[in-house]
């Protein structure tokens, strides 16, 4: 009888433990949710639409934040020298995947911080030319993702569009950020294209906002008829100021981001950034399900949009050809 009571007591104790078990498992499950580290160069307030496009892409694939995945956002707030430390912080958190967005600097900072955590790059210009991946088809390491440049012909296309808008154009300034490795790749490609088109390219540099005025003054001193602004997080963050300086210096600009033209830049020939961020979610999904970045080809854009700011054109006293306006995908008035 005593033995039976003991067994009954042990059974009740064990049952009590079992009753608590689902709670413990639930807590473990919460702790084991995949963590996505997101490293960006620009202030988060400036990329809200892109961040939402990424979230929407994940929702479309069945991922709900805090239920299925956890986000760890890190922003350099436009200060590129902060990126390496932020990348290392994400590595210390042992995130499951890093999404590096905003050009080559976040991507390279992530690459230098880890060779084991998968990295999905978004909005990079030339992942092969800047050493991020071995090839587009077979990245080969822990990095894959989406590029904004379809090939070197993009540089000639931008110059040709500027020439069409400004038929007498012969000298173009190229605004570069030497701290961004993509600037070198883009400059070389643009210089080669300029030679083919019979144009002269003069590079002006800025690594900090307080160097913008000097860069525009240099462009004016060499009598550049237009400026091509390289795709760069620093320039993106301070696009309003660049647009203001361009108008003040009577210098039409060509950009690689729609937002530059919305801020007052003259023209952009660009891939759809919101679509790139939405599509990045598919890479994260495949990696979380076990795919290796080395085997996931880097995607290139297949469609580019021509955007013209007609208000800026009028401020610059430019008469944009009607044929060019008719071909534009968007005209801002």
pLDDT tens for 238-293 read: 999 999 999 999 999 999 888 999 999 999 998 888 888 999 999 999 999 999 99
Q: Provide the 8-state DSSP code for 80.
A: G
What SS3 state is found at 158?
Answer: helix
Q: Which residues of 231-267 are buried (b: 16+ CB within 10 A; e: fewer)?
A: bbbbbbbbbeebbebbbebebbbbbbbbbbbbbbbbb
Whole-number average pLDDT of the chain:
88
Q: What pLDDT score was predicted for residue 303?
A: 81
Query: Which pLDDT tens digit goes with each residue over 17-36?
Result: 433 334 444 444 445 899 99
Q: Is 61 exposed, middle or buried (0-12, 13-18, 19+ CB in 10 A)?
A: middle
Query: Which pLDDT tens digit goes with each residue over 215-232?
Result: 999 999 999 999 999 988
Between CA 189 and CA 202 the distance in angstroms is 13
Are 229 and 243 in contact by the 8 Å Cβ rule? The answer is: no
Which two structure tokens, joined as six digits, stand for 255?
A: 């950009």
Are 254 and 158 in contact by the 8 Å Cβ rule? The answer is: yes
Weakest-pLDDT range from 62-76, 83-97, 268-282:
268-282
> The pTM is what?
0.77
What is the distance of C-alpha 212 from the center of its chain? 22
Where exactly are the structural domains of the chain? Answer: 30-149+272-295, 153-270+305-332
Q: Tell me which of 94 and 126 has the higher pLDDT.
A: 94
Q: What pLDDT score was predicted for residue 318?
A: 96
Between CA 257 and CA 265 the distance in angstroms is 10
What is the number of helices (H) and of strands (E) in the chain? Answer: 13, 12
Query: Which pLDDT tens digit goes with each residue over 189-204?
Result: 999 999 999 999 999 9
Of 64, 62, 73, 67, nearest to 32 by C-alpha is 67
Between CA 20 and CA 173 the distance in angstroms is 69
Q: What pLDDT score was predicted for residue 219?
A: 97
**pLDDT > 90 in the chain, percent:** 68
Q: Which helix (H) or strand (E) holds 203?
A: strand 200-205
Hey, how many other C-beta atoms are within 10 angstroms of the C-beta on 207?
Answer: 16
Backbone φ and ψ for 67, nearest 5 degrees, come out as -100, -45
153-270+305-332 CATH fold: Rossmann fold (3.40.50)
Q: What pLDDT score was predicted for residue 11?
A: 37
Q: What pLDDT score was predicted for residue 279?
A: 93
Are 298 and 145 in contact by the 8 Å Cβ rule? The answer is: yes
pLDDT at 106 over 70: yes
Q: What pLDDT score was predicted for residue 123?
A: 83
Architecture field, domain 30-149+272-295: 3-Layer(aba) Sandwich (3.40)
Q: Tell me which of 5 and 181 has the higher pLDDT.
A: 181
Given this chain, do its domains 30-149+272-295 and 153-270+305-332 carry the same CATH topology? yes
For residues 153-173, average pLDDT: 94
């Amino acid at each position: 009888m005593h033995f039976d009571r003991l067994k009954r007591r042990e059974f009740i104790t064990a049952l009590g433990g079992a009753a608590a078990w689902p709670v413990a498992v639930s807590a473990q499950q919460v702790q084991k949710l995949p963590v996505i580290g997101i490293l960006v160069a620009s202030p988060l307030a400036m990329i809200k639409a892109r961040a939402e496009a990424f979230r929407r892409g994940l929702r479309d694939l069945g991922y709900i934040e805090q239920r299925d995945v956890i986000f760890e956002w890190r922003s350099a707030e436009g200060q590129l020298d902060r990126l390496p430390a932020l990348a290392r912080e994400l590595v210390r958190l042992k995130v499951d995947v890093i999404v590096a967005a905003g050009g080559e600097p976040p991507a390279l900072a992530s690459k230098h911080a880890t060779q084991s955590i998968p990295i999905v790059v978004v909005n990079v210009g030339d992942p092969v030319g800047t050493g991020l991946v071995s090839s587009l088809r077979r990245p080969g390491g822990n990095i894959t993702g989406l590029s904004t440049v379809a090939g070197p012909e993009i540089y000639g296309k931008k110059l040709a569009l500027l020439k069409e808008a400004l038929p007498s154009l012969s000298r173009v300034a190229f605004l570069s950020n030497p701290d961004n490795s993509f600037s070198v790749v883009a400059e070389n490609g643009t210089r080669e294209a300029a030679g083919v088109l019979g144009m002269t390219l003069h590079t002006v540099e800025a690594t900090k906002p307080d160097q913008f005025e000097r860069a525009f003054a240099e462009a004016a001193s060499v009598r550049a008829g237009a400026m091509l602004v390289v795709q760069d997080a620093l320039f993106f963050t301070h696009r309003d100021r660049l647009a203001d300086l361009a108008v003040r210096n009577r210098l039409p600009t060509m950009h690689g981001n729609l937002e530059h033209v919305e801020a007052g830049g003259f023209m952009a020939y660009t891939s759809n950034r919101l679509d790139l961020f939405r599509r990045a979610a598919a890479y994260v999904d495949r990696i979380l399900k076990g795919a290796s970045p080395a085997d996931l080809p880097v995607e290139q854009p297949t469609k580019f949009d021509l955007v013209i700011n007609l208000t800026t054109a009028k401020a610059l006293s430019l008469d944009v050809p009607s044929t060019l306006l008719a071909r534009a995908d968007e005209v801002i008035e």
